[in-house]
Amino acid sequence: MRPLDLGSPRLARLLLRTGTPAMCGLSLNAAHQGVDGAFLGRLGTEELAAVSLALPLAGLTAALGVGLGVGTATAIARRLGAGDARAAGRIASGAMGLGLCLAALACAALTLGREPLLDLLGATGGLREPARAYLALMAVAAGMGIVQILCDFIAIGEGNARFSMCSLALCFGLSMALDPLFIFTFGWGVSGAAAATVLAQSVTLMLYAWYFARRRGRILLRPAFGAAAWRGLGPVLRVGTPETATVLAATGAVLLLYRGAGITAGVEGLAALGIVLRLFMLASLPVEGFCLGAQAVLAHAAGAGDSARLNRAARWLAAITCGAAFLAGMVSFALPGLAIRLFAATPGTALLAEPALRLLALALPLAALRHVAQVLLQATERAAVAAMLGLAPSCWLLLPLLALLVPAFGFSGLVLSFALAVALTGFGAALILWRLPRAAPNGVSA
């Protein structure tokens, strides 16, 4: 399974061939989250709420992998577009060495700080024990996840999104297959869900070790450590640091939403919010995945200095993703109860979840526009604007809305604030894309 030619003249076909595998990979991630939630919902409302409460902590560490991965994929694709495969290999090797160090630190931090973190999340009473058991294994999974995410982005950056898709299919497919065995047959409960994830990640990382050792891609990857190896990671960090901040802010926003749900609606509010956010993820992650896979095409065009190709690629990407998001949003808006019933929700939980899901469904097409604008800004190394756009739905737009709407509307105000923040960010992204013909691929206004 060899990388694609990122300079192929058949642009629409190339976008589909790079974006679809990454879309399928993140769709499997979303499906995995949904299946996990469905199985855990059958253990009880407290177990589902406890796991939903602990999941954002894994997101904090995943932010490191995503930021490093997005920056690395962009830098690799730009170097390949400029015809310098050796420089692309040096960047990937330094990034992998840094990623391995960050993974070890993240695992240690989550393990040693588990109890204070649970206190911060408000995990008390019946929530405490299942949240503690889940987080014990998820600390290991979080560290392994950083390395796996980086491997995926390196493969995408060199044009081999298909291999990334296969690795994700293996990881999430194996985890979903092991879930019922570990959770119910072995009687491990919430720990079983985490154990299934750890085992699946171990197998996937072995597959990537084979991929890089056998040089199945375009670049030579040999993990490099130390200041000398990391000195050349400036282009990676310029793009990756804002992305890390964006994911961290999103994770912090989810923590804040969960805390608000617990305060305004108790355990049922936590469970309802967990269901709604999982379903929103199920609809939005495929769009984000398609954009991340296609980002290599945009970065390659930027590296080659081909402004016209960059513009055409971004327009195609917006048309494809917004159309798909609109269809997903309409289905979610028309049939919210059908999806919520998969989680074995109690009547009280369903009563909170259905209107919340409808609100978020309306924002899906605008969320797609944000992802398109985000990858365009990253491909052209406009780090500051990318950071402003990425932080909008989880920080500087969300927080004022929460302060205004939650006191007036309680639990409904939480979801309304998030939906409005996503929608307003989408309008900002539309403005960026409208100004696209004036943009030069090096990030300087023409």
Q: For 171-203, how does the pLDDT look when each residue is reduced to its tens digit (9 = 90+)?
A: 999 999 999 999 999 999 889 999 999 999 999
Is pLDDT at 443 greater than 50 in this prediction?
no
Is pLDDT at 442 greater than 70 in this prediction?
no
Is pLDDT at 345 greater than 80 in this prediction?
no
Phi, psi of 181 (to 5 degrees): -65, -50
Identify the helix (H) or strand (E) that includes residue 32. Answer: helix 11-41
Is pLDDT at 204 greater than 70 in this prediction?
yes
Is pLDDT at 229 greater than 90 in this prediction?
no
Extract the tokens encoding 343: 């989680």
Which of 23-27, 103-107, 331-335 shows the lowest per-residue confidence on average (mean pLDDT)? Answer: 23-27
Rounded Cα distance, 433 and 77, in Å: 21
Distance of CA 179 to the CA centre of its chain: 21
Is pLDDT at 114 greater than 90 in this prediction?
no
- Select the highest-mean-pLDDT range: 18-32, 60-74, 145-159, 274-288: 145-159
Residue 438: is it exposed, middle or buried by C-beta count within 10 angstroms (0-12/13-18/19+)? exposed
Q: To the nearest whole percent, how much of the chain has pLDDT over 70?
A: 95
Is pLDDT at 309 greater than 70 in this prediction?
yes
Rounded Cα distance, 333 and 165, in Å: 29
Q: What is the pLDDT of residue 75?
A: 94
Q: What is the pLDDT of residue 1?
A: 64
Taking CA 156 as the corner, what is the angle to CA 151 and CA 159, rounded to the nearest 5 degrees?
135
Write the pLDDT tens digit of every residue in 75-99. 999 999 999 999 999 999 999 999 9
Average pLDDT of the chain is 88
Rounded Cα distance, 122 and 258, in Å: 10
